Structure 1
């Protein structure tokens, strides 16, 4: 879509752009200047994230154990528009095997064959915890991602085709049309923190 000739409709890059913005705007330096080593991050629309000691506990565990990243997760609710946390396994081009946690957004469920309804009790999908977008991050590790001059600085790029796109045409009229939006997701910073092994850790 274009607003006028050769001017595409541009939308924000999703909350995954937070890491690059934090680097570009000097946020990491500000944290270091205040003696900080880690931070908790939450999606602002998650209104219950700061109503108890969850953030404090998550930060304490992350700092105490020297973790690069931590997720707060909960049991999935049927039909909720939230992603899930999964363990991923992939073979790299150099032949090594990489393992780690990742998040699959609800907009990507069909692509991976994940049901959005209630999974059967015997299904492995029943074990996938929901992503709450409450994170602990080690600041130097997050800064390495945000400072990357590659797609690494915008983790978890997905095409969200479930959004209506609002735009103003060159006559000044506002329109809302079905469309898609490229988004990146803050929790998929985890994709940069995989552990690698020379051989596969799991066999069928």
Structure 2
């Protein structure tokens, strides 16, 4: 007998729905492959006539390089992609939410923006190389957040070095999300 969890997972995929209810890790790269697959299936169909891809997100965050690749795929997608924040969209989960062509959150969704974490071991030279890479990555993350939201550079700089938690209403004001889901039909 098939695993009921997997049956539901594949049923969602047939409806072009992905539920990401975990940390962003190497396993999340599947999202990028599904975006590619569904864009391929839609080739020749006008973008406004394509059935949207929906990514439901409930995540504590995770791998920045993985989420950046998924963000690249979302930005390249001709098929519209809706990101829906559920529960929490922390760190890399919030970055994924920001990438959607349409971005939704529920009334009690919370978001975390912060400076992340890094670590390096090895020789001093390798640690300095890691530091330079991390500085550049931080700069790129700032540019992405500023270009994807209504957060000003001043507000960003005031909050970035702390754990900056936001509730759904604040996410709307700052342009992290476009709409609070108050009618289930919005995301069906």
TM-score by length of structure 2 reads 0.22
More strand by share: 1
Q: Which has the larger radius of gyration?
A: 1
RCO comparison, higher one (Cα < 8 Å, 6+): 1
More helix by share: 2
